[in-house]
Structure 1
C-alpha cells in the first residue's frame, strides 16, 4: 500500500521539537541540520542562520571558521593532538571541501558513507560553536569591560611594607582583611571558550559567565565571610546583580553557621566579650561549620574535594563612543565653512542613531577560598587540570558518541592516568 502523498506535509522532526519544547540542545541531536540535499538548500539555510551565501567576504570568514574547527578537533579530540583523544582520522573528503555549503550537503543528504556523514555532523557542531564565539558583539568592548570590572577590586587591594597583601577601603585603613593571594582572569583563551561551550547545554557565547573573573585566597574561613561583607558594605559587588543560579558554596553549612552565629552573639553579650575574643570564637565557629561533601551542589566536572565560594555578578559597563566626540568636532569645523559641499553634507548627516554612550551589563565571576582549602584543591582530583580533562572528555563524548558506537569505541578507552 502506497503512503498518501499528503503525509509528507505532516512529518515532524521529533528531535527538533525537543529543542523547541523541552530545552534539548542542537548539539545533542543525532542530526544537527535537517535534510539538505543541494547547494541551494544549504545556501537557503545559511541565509536563515544569518549568512549571505552570495557575500564572498562572509563566506570566506565562514570557511576560515571551518578550517579552525578541523584544527580544533585534531587538537582536542583525536590522538594526534591529545592523549585523551580518539584514534581516528578525519576523512580526506572533508579536506577537499572548498565551500562550507558542501559540508551541509555531506552531513544531511542521502550519503551512503555513514562515517563521512557523522564526521560532517561533528564538524558542523564545532563550526557552529566557533561562529557564536566570533560573533559575540561584546568582544569589541572587551578591554573596556576588563578595566571597569577589575578597577572595582584593584583599588581596594594593597601591600604592606612586608609585601603582604590585604584588602581595605584605603591603604592606611586600620580595618584590613589579609590575603594569601589575589589573581584576576583577564580573558579565557579562545580554545577554552570553545571547549566550555561544547560541553554546556546552552551552547551560545552569551551564556559564558567566567570570561572575566577574580580570585581571592584568604587566611581563614572566617576571612571568607569578612571579605563578602566588605564587598557588600563598600558596594563593590551589588547583591541585586548576582545571578542566583551561578552561586556555589562548598565551604559553609549556612544554616548551621547562622544558628551558631546567633548563639555566639548571645554569648558575647552575656559574657561581655571584647572584639579580640569574639573574633577568635568566630574563627573557631567558621571552621566548625564546614559543609558536608554529600551536600555539595552537583557539577559533573568538579571534584567532590573542591571547596570554594563562587558567585557571578553583573556590572553595568559604560563605553564612551570616541567617534561621537570626533564627529561633533568635525561638525564644528564644518559650521565654519558652510559654503563648501563637503561641509553641507557633514552638517546634513543624521546623527540620531550614533550613540554617545553604550551601556550594558557584563558578567564577572568571583571566587573566594581560604588557604587551607586552596591547598586541598590543588591536590589530586580537585586540581584544575582534572577539571579541564573532565570537560574535554565530556565534550568529546557529546560530539563523537554516534561515531564511537559505529566504530565500537568505549568511553572507558578515553580515561588516562
Structure 2
C-alpha cells in the first residue's frame, strides 16, 4: 500500500483535476481506499489563486464541468445569472463577438500577422453557451482540437466581459475633461505660436503637448489579453498626457512645475508604475551640487549654467534598457513616465430633472403626481466620487524623435503586443498541432 500511495501522490501532483478521474478509472485505481478521493487537489488552480499565475496561462482555463448543472453553478459563481434570458442572450453576444475578434486579429484571414488556422465548424453551430463550456472541458463528443478552440473562445469572452463591466467607463468623458483641464489651464502660446507651460513668472518652453485619445474597445481587449492581471481596472493608461521638452533639464523643470502647481499630487502616484529610461537621476543628483557651486564661484550666466547642466545630464543618459513594466517596449524607448490618480467628481444629471418634476408635481392633484411625490429617493446618489488613474509622460525632443522611429515606434509596439496576446491565447492549440515547442 505504501508504494501505491507514493505513486498516487506523485501522479495526482502532476495531473490537473479535470483529467484525474478519467485516468484513475483507466488504471483501475477506483477500488483503492475511498478516503483518497478527498485528497485530490487541483494544483493548477492553486497556482492561479496563490501562485501569481494568470488563469489564461493555466493548464485548464475552466475546471471540469460534468453537465449543464455544473455549468450553471460556475456561471453563478462568476457573477452571471444563467436563469436570466437577457443575461444569457448577452453572454451569447459576447461569444459571437469573441469569434469575430479572433478572426479579425489572430487569424491569417483578418490579419497578415495572424495564424494560418481555421475555426472548427462545430463552434459555429453552438446555440447555447452551456454547450461551449462542456466542449471546452471535454464533456461532449468533440475532438481535442475542438476542445482547445472552445477554450480559446472562452478566454476572449472572459476578457470582453471585463472590458465591458468597468463601471467607471460610463463616466469617461467627465474623467478626461477633469484630468486634462488641470493641464490646459497652464498651457499658453505666444504671438509666434510657441508653446509654454506657464504660471506667474515661471515659463517652460514645450515642443508639444499631447493627450491620449480614448482607446478603442478592441485595443483594450488586446491589451487585457496580454496582461497577467487580465482585468479592466488594471489598465492605467486609458487617459494620458505627454509633454515634449526642448532638452533633458526641462524634464526636471516640468516635473517640478506639475508638483508645485498641484497638477499632480505625489501622494496619489502609483509607485510601481513610475519609470525613467532617459537619464540616471540619482547619478545626476550627485553631480548637480557641484554644478551649482561652480555657477556661484564663477558667476556663470544662466545660459552657460544650463549648457553645463545639459552636458552633465547627457553623460548620465542610459543606454538600452529593458522595461520591467512592459515587455513590448523597445529597449531604445526613452521616457520619464508615471501613473497618478485623480479624484473624479460626477454630478448625477438625473437628480436635477427629478427634483424639477417633484416641484411641478406639488402643484398637481393627480395620481401620477402623488406617486412621484411619494417616491423614496434617499438611495439615489447626488454625487459620484472615485479615483481614476492617468499616465503622464515627459520626454525631451531628441528622445521623442527616437521613440517615433523604427523599433521604438508605437505601431511596432502595438504589433508586438498583438502577437504576444495571440501566442498566449493559442499556446495550447499550437503545442497540440506541433507548431511550437514547449
Q: TM-score range by the shorter chain?
A: over 0.9
Determine the structure 1 residue equivalent to 2:396. 370
Determine the structure 2 residue equivalent to 1:406. 432
Contact map agreement 1:146 1:186 (CA 8 A) in 2: no
Q: Are 2:326 and 1:299 equivalent residues in the alignment?
A: yes
How far apart are the structure 2 equivalents of 1:139 and 1:295?
Answer: 32
List 4+ stretches of structure 1 deviating above 4 A: 294-298
Q: Are 2:163 and 1:133 equivalent residues in the alignment?
A: yes
SS of the residue aligned with 1:32?
A: coil
How many Å apart are 1:346 and its aligned residue?
A: 2.4
Determine the structure 2 residue equivalent to 1:53. 82
Structure 2 gap segments, 5+ residues each: 1-28
Contact map agreement 2:94 2:161 (CA 8 A) in 1: yes
Determine the structure 2 residue equivalent to 1:118. 148
Q: Are 2:410 and 1:381 equivalent residues in the alignment?
A: no
Larger relative contact order (CA 8 Å, sep ≥ 6): 1
How far apart are the structure 1 equivalents of 2:437 and 2:368?
Answer: 68
How many Å apart are 1:75 and its aligned residue?
A: 1.4
How far apart are the structure 1 equivalents of 2:238 and 2:321?
Answer: 29
Structure 1 gap segments, 5+ residues each: 413-417
* 1:81-125 deviation line (CA, Å, top 9, x unaligned): 112211110100001111112110100133451000000111100
Most deviating of 138-147 and 107-116: 107-116
Q: Are 2:105 and 1:76 equivalent residues in the alignment?
A: yes
1:66 aligned to which of 66, 82, 95: 95
TM norm structure 2? 0.89
Q: Are 2:192 and 1:162 equivalent residues in the alignment?
A: yes
Contact map agreement 2:174 2:346 (CA 8 A) in 1: yes
SS of the residue aligned with 1:176?
A: strand
Contact map agreement 1:248 1:297 (CA 8 A) in 2: no
How far apart are the structure 1 equivalents of 2:86 and 2:311?
Answer: 64
Alignment coverage as a number of residue pairs: 408
2:368 aligned to which of 342, 350, 371: 342
SS of the residue aligned with 1:303?
A: coil
Most deviating of 227-236 and 8-17: 8-17
Q: Residues 295 and 392 from structure 1, CA distance in 2 versus in 1: closer, same or farther, beyond 3 angstroms?
A: closer
How many Å apart are 1:336 and its aligned residue?
A: 3.4
How many Å apart are 1:297 and its aligned residue?
A: 4.4
How many Å apart are 1:411 and its aligned residue?
A: 7.6
Q: Are 2:90 and 1:90 equivalent residues in the alignment?
A: no
Determine the structure 1 residue equivalent to 2:210. 183
How far apart are the structure 1 equivalents of 2:165 and 2:322?
Answer: 39
1:264 aligned to which of 291, 296, 302: 291
How far apart are the structure 2 equivalents of 1:315 and 1:184?
Answer: 16
Q: Are 2:265 and 1:219 equivalent residues in the alignment?
A: no
Determine the structure 2 residue equivalent to 1:394. 420
Q: Are 2:280 and 1:250 equivalent residues in the alignment?
A: no
RMSD after superposition:
1.9
